[in-house]
Amino acid sequence: MRRVLHLARRAAAALLSLAVVLVAAAWLTARPGDPGLYPPPPGEAAVTVRVVAGAWHSGLLLPRDDLARAAAEAGAGALIAVTERFHAYPALEIGWGDAGFYRAVPTIDALDWRLALRALFTPGGRPAVLHVVGVAAEPGAVPEAGIVTVRLSRAGFRRLAAALARSFATRDGHPVEAGPGLYGPSLFYLAEGRFSLVAVCNHWSAGLLAEAGLPVTPLLDTLPQGLVLDLAWRAGAHAP
C-alpha cells in the first residue's frame, strides 16, 4: 500500500511539474495584441472575419470584396489573382497545411496516423499548401466545423491580407495552383513556409490574426479548440 501511495505521489508531482512547465511556456511565448489595431474603436467601420475550427484543422473565412480591395491597395498580385479567380463568391475560406496530409485527409474519419506523424516530425518541416474555397452559403454551412466571429479594424484587416498574400508561393508573380480542393468550388495552391510540429495550420491562422492586432498564445493555439479558447480568453471573441 505504501508503494502504491508513493507512486501516486510521484505521478501527481510529475503532472504538477508538467502543468507548471506548460503554463510557463505558454506565458513566455504569448504574443501581445496591438491596441491600435484591435479591437476596432466604437463606431468605426469594421471587417467581420470568421475562424473555422474543425476537429484537427482551422482556417479563416474572409469577405472576398474586402480581401480584393485590401490586395489591390497593397499591390499583392497573387492575392488579387485568387480573389479574381473566385469572384463569384462573397466569401473565401482559406487554410494552410502540409501538402501531403492536407490533401489526403479531408476529414477526421480519413485520418492516417502515418501521414500525420510524417507531417509533424519530418526534420526541417515539409512543403505546405493553401486551400481556398469559394463560399456562397451562410457561414454556418462550412462542413463539420465550428465558427468564431471576430470584428477587425480596417487597418488590422489590411495587415492580415498582406500577411495572407505572403503565404502564397508565386511563379512569375502569379499564385501556383496545385490541384482541385477538397469540397465545393475549391483549389489548392503552393504555399510559403514549412509545416512541422511547431508550425501547424492553427499556428498559421493565429499568426494572421496576430497581424490584425489580436493577442495570441501559440502553445495553446496548436489545436483548433485551443485556438478557440485563446480567442475567447485573450481577444474576447466567442462562437455564436
* Residue-level pLDDT at 17: 42
Q: Which residue has better confidence, 219 or 9?
A: 219
- Between CA 90 and CA 64 the distance in angstroms is 5
Among candidates 76, 61, 70, 103, which has minimal Cα distance to 187? 103
Q: Are 67 and 156 in contact (CB under 8 A)?
A: no
Among candidates 140, 147, 152, which has minimal Cα distance to 50? 147
Mark 208-220 as b/e (b = at least 16 C-beta within 10 Å).
Answer: bbbbbbbbbbbbb
pLDDT digits (tens, 9 = 90+) for 214-235: 999 999 999 999 999 999 999 9
* Residue-level pLDDT at 23: 43
Q: Are 163 and 130 in contact (CB under 8 A)?
A: no
SS3 175: strand
SS3 97: strand
Cβ neighbors of 74 (< 8 A, separation 6 or more) are 158, 161, 162, 165
* 8 band by pLDDT with thresholds 50, 70 and 90: low
pTM of the model: 0.83
* Residue-level pLDDT at 237: 85
* CA dihedral sign of residues 88, 45, 165, 138: negative
pLDDT digits (tens, 9 = 90+) for 80-123: 999 999 999 999 999 999 988 777 665 545 555 565 555 555 67
Structural domain spans, the chain: 31-235
